[in-house]
C-alpha cells in the first residue's frame, strides 16, 4: 500500500528450499500484490535441469496465477 500505484517487484534473498521459495513468492503475489519478481540464486545455483524446472514453476505462479501445489508439480 505504501507504494501507491507504482508496481512493486520482489527481489533478493538467499537460496532456500523450493517449497519455501514458491510459498513466499505466491504470498508476495497473491497477498502482497507484487507485480513480479527478480529471482537469482534460487535458479542460478541449481543444476541446469532443476533450474529450468524452477523457472517454469516461478513463471506458473507469477504469470499464470498457479497455486504452490500446482507449481510444485512442475518440479517433478
Rg over alpha carbons for the chain, rounded to the nearest Å, is 12
pLDDT, tens digit, 9 for 90 and up, residues 7-30: 766 776 778 889 998 998 898 888
Instruction: Give the model's pLDDT for residue 12.
Output: 65
What rounded mean pLDDT belongs to the chain? 86
The CA–CA distances, whole Å, from 60 to 1, 19, 26, 43 equal 25, 14, 10, 14
Contacts of 55 (CB under 8 A, 6+ apart): 39, 43
Taking residues 44-67, what's their average pLDDT?
93
On the question of pLDDT at 44 being above 80, the answer is yes
* Cα 6 to Cα 66: distance, rounded to the nearest angstrom: 24
Amino acid at each position: 500500500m505504501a507504494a501507491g500505484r507504482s508496481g512493486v517487484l520482489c527481489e533478493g534473498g538467499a537460496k532456500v528450499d523450493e517449497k519455501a521459495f514458491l510459498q513466499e513468492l505466491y504470498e508476495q503475489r497473491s497477498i502482497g500484490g507484487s507485480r513480479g519478481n527478480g529471482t537469482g540464486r534460487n535458479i542460478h545455483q541449481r543444476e541446469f535441469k532443476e533450474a529450468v524446472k524452477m523457472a517454469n514453476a516461478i513463471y506458473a505462479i507469477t504469470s499464470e496465477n498457479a497455486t504452490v501445489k500446482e507449481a510444485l508439480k512442475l518440479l517433478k
